[in-house]
Amino acid sequence: MTTLTNAAATDRERWERERLFESLEAYRRGIADAPTVHKYFVSTASLPNEDRPLTFVASDETEDRLGDVVRADGWELDTYRHNPVFLWAHDVSRTPIGRSSWVGVEGTRLLATVEFAPTAFAREVELLYRQRFLRAVSVGFRAKAFSFRRDPVRGVEGVEYSKQELLEISAVPVPANPRALARALASGLEVPRLRPLFTFEEKGDGTAGIASGDADQIVGALRALRTAIG
């Protein structure tokens, strides 16, 4: 049984991580289906004119903080190309906020060109990406071939995914900078479905700040969007 030794992981992350390792091990032994994995990436999206789709780096081969690596030449894209959905926060119960008009591997990167849906919420999300208040995307994939890896110095046990089937790509609010987003809303950025989640107070220097002063509350509010946008 593989265990997570990353000291930075929270108890919840550790629990989720151990369940993932159990699922991967069961799949490797042939007694369970391939588990679905989510991995976020802080993307450097291209910023064309407003009437042009955005292209995101959905994944690359950089080792993440849990010690995982996703190999670019292992991406299987046929399933996704038949249903190229762009979701909000991996929420498959809601209508997609866009679609990928193109997806492919270039070098060590998985790229996707996204067209946003003509809905109010999708347009708000698109605006936040175009103005760089949102920067992260996340891939949902089914792990099909992998190996466990351990750093001898840091003691971090991770996974190297060498074959994975892409299922969906999502816009995700974390790790977007919550204070930057709060400043954007305070300055008048027109995102009406986001604005009710935040309150602001005027500071002595004439700028607006988060009333609670707690960025964690902003992150929590962003995570609550999936129930607030219906």
Distance of CA 192 to the CA centre of its chain: 22
Exposed e or buried b per residue across 115-154, where buried means at least 16 C-beta atoms within 10 angstroms of its C-beta: bbbeeebbbbbbbbbbeebbbbbbbbbbbeebeeeeeeee
Domain-embedded: residue 113: yes
Residue 4 has pLDDT above 60, yes or no: no
Higher per-residue confidence, 135 vs 107: 107
Residue 140 has pLDDT above 90, yes or no: yes
Domain-embedded: residue 1: no
Residue 60 to residue 66: CA distance in whole angstroms = 15
Cα distance from N-terminal residue to C-terminal residue, the chain = 41
Domain ends where: 155, 171, 187?
171
Mean pLDDT within 39-62: 80
The whole-number pLDDT of residue 207 equals 40
The whole-number pLDDT of residue 9 equals 53
φ, ψ dihedrals at 94, nearest 5°: -110, 160
Residue 18 to residue 97: CA distance in whole angstroms = 31
- Structural domain total, the chain: 2
Higher per-residue confidence, 215 vs 27: 27
Same domain, 129 and 211: no
Give every CB contact of residue 182 below 8 A, 6+ residues apart in sequence: 198, 200, 209, 210, 218
Same domain, 157 and 182: no
Domain-embedded: residue 26: no
| Domain housing 189 | 178-228
Tell me the average pLDDT of the chain. Answer: 77
Give every CB contact of residue 165 below 8 A, 6+ residues apart in sequence: 34, 76, 79, 80, 141, 142, 144
Question: Band of the pLDDT at 221, cuts 50, 70, 90?
Answer: very low
Residue 85 to residue 154: CA distance in whole angstroms = 37
Same domain, 61 and 140: yes
Same domain, 208 and 158: no
Mean pLDDT within 8-28: 85
pTM: 0.73
